Structure 1
Amino acid sequence: MHEIPEYALFEVREPLSHTIPFVYNSPHSGRIYPPEFIAQSRLEGVSIRRSEDHYVDELFADASALGAPLLLANFPRAYLDVNREPYELDPRMFDGLLPPYANINSLRVAGGLGTIPRIVAENMEIYTRRLSVQEGLDRIESVYKPYHAALRRLIARTHVQFGFGVLIDCHSMPGNVRVAGSNARPDFIIGDRYGTSASAELSRAAVAIFEEMGFTAIRNKPYAGGFITEHYGRPSRGLHALQIEVNRSIYVDEITLEKRADFALVVGAITAFMRQLAVYVAQFATDSALAAE
């Protein structure tokens, strides 16, 4: 069996008391690279890190101080991507036949960004050789499934405690992203799967909070939310999932990956956003738009 990394694969940062109906999740900010993975890769240094959501766990670190748990990955996205179906696998990456239940035809697989990615950003190939099918399946069993089990537990606990819940899936996006039809750069994109993963009122409120702070914020384009947002968002059951994309260029140098001088200011703005969104939800918790139908 493929060796499981010896570090903690992920962490749950619990609040002293779970006082707000939120769960925060940072699935792509992991930056502990297993030595055996590095040995398989043709990339190293900054290059292998291009797929990270750089420091997003730190941007949203105050979630626990505000009363919500924060789940964060320590393993890197290039090693395994939990924001995919469990078996979105590229047969070109493996020696042997994948199981029949593998989704080998998704657009994400075609683009090299399946559950076990073939490339990092800028279309750089990761591996020097094909992987064994068993190694791929072992990663899913030992990393993907425990991560989602932890996320499901947090969401279920929140739903039971408060009668509804809000999952915030935290990500970053490249600095060259532009608003469709213009040259405007969005600082934040709120994804709600075009209104299917969360109430429209909630996602509009999230956009408005950032705009009131002076940021450019838009909904859904070009990032409407990935597997996590789509899979866990069930507004009719009182479970809302929003994806937040933070423009990397406002807080990190995208070439060196060094934090910018105003990194702390961005952290402060995101903390203020989390606090204000919690106030909004508390004020409208009994509305049919948030509670289960």
Structure 2
Amino acid sequence: MMEWLEVHRGDAPLVISFPHTGTLIPLEIEKRLTSPWLARKDADWWIDRLYGFARELGATTVRTAISRTVIDVNRDPSGVSLYPGQATTELCPTTTFDGEPLYAGDGPDEAEVARRRATYFEPYHAALQAELARLRTDHGRVVLYEAHSIRSLVPRLFEGELPNFNLGTNSGASCDGALTAAVEAACDASGYSRVTNGRFKGGWTTRHYGQPQTGIHALQMELACRGYMDDPATPPTPASWPAPYSDAQAAPMRAALTDVLKACLAFAKP
């Protein structure tokens, strides 16, 4: 297994993908960037730690340690925008979520993007596909759960404060409605705010693998960071972001997410 690709195998019909928790950037790329901090600012901070309990539930986890600035493994590999007409970042991002340039000079050209796809994108998805296929042989249904987070306030991407739970199911196409309803119920019972298929409807992974007719049910959960860590109300700075992870601060959200994943398992194992 490649050092940057982390796969933990479980036997339950649940795969959790962590596409954006990585912060590793090869030196030859990092030296071209405007700022090491900007290059890592939009990571899904501490999400793999927040879901650390998932392995106890028998879940399989797949994580890349490579930063999304190198390549975003949750974007359409063809380069087509997932949200036409809305601000977003590319397969190999050239700006932050706030629109700040990531490269001091030119960004990656087509040949470099292709190399990054072959080096990082394709192995990640080969591993994800292999784990789904492995579990599908033993279970009638398998749930693919995309674990994400984002700052609560990113004016360039959305207006106002983001709800705590942002559930995306590709407008209902990527999973059975019963799974959506079960996850919604777990979210709503927690007391945290929730929206389904709002600003975030699911990235490429959810849309690509979510094929309920074949037994693969995919959904994306985008958490507002304030639910488990300090989330600045003003534009972040190197002094304020990322805030450190605190088990005590994250405990209520971990409890809510435990119920969410149990709802996924109850659907997959009726």
Structure 2 length-normalised TM: 0.86
Could you tell me which residue of structure 1 aligns to residue 99 of structure 2?
123
Aligned positions, number: 255
User: 1:49-198 counterparts in 2 under 5 A?
Assistant: 49-88=40-79, 103=80, 111=87, 113-130=89-106, 131-176=108-153, 185-198=162-175
Task: Name which one, 1 or 2, has greater alpha-carbon Rg.
Answer: 1
2:210 is the counterpart of 1:219? no
In 2, distance between residues paired with 1:185 and 1:129?
A: 33
Could you tell me which residue of structure 2 aligns to residue 8 of structure 1?
3
Q: Deviation of residue 133 (structure 1)?
A: 3.4
Is the Cα contact below 8 Å between 2:15 and 2:61 reproduced in 1? yes
In 2, distance between residues paired with 1:165 and 1:120?
A: 34
Is the Cα contact below 8 Å between 1:168 and 1:242 reproduced in 2? yes
Structure 1 length-normalised TM: 0.79
Q: Where does structure 2 lack aligned partners over 5 or more consecutive residues?
A: none
In 1, distance between residues paired with 2:151 and 2:264?
A: 25
Whose relative contact order is higher, 1 or 2, with alpha carbons under 8 Å and at least 6 apart?
2
In 2, distance between residues paired with 1:82 and 1:269?
A: 27
In 2, distance between residues paired with 1:133 and 1:248?
A: 33
Distance change (3 Å), C-alpha of 1:190 and 1:177: farther
* Residue in structure 1 matching 2:266, options 266, 274, 279: 279
Could you tell me which residue of structure 2 aligns to residue 287 of structure 1?
none
Could you tell me which residue of structure 2 aligns to residue 249 of structure 1?
226
Is the Cα contact below 8 Å between 1:209 and 1:277 reproduced in 2? no
Identity %, equivalent residues:
27
Could you tell me which residue of structure 2 aligns to residue 93 of structure 1?
none
Residue 125 of structure 1 aligns to a residue whose secondary structure is coil
RMSD: 2.4
> Which sits farther off after the overlay, 118-127 or 32-41?
32-41
Residue 122 of structure 1 aligns to a residue whose secondary structure is coil
In 1, distance between residues paired with 2:82 and 2:145?
A: 25
In 2, distance between residues paired with 1:112 and 1:245?
A: 15
The residue type paired with residue 115 of structure 2 is D
Q: Where does structure 1 lack aligned partners over 5 or more consecutive residues?
A: 1-6, 89-102, 284-293
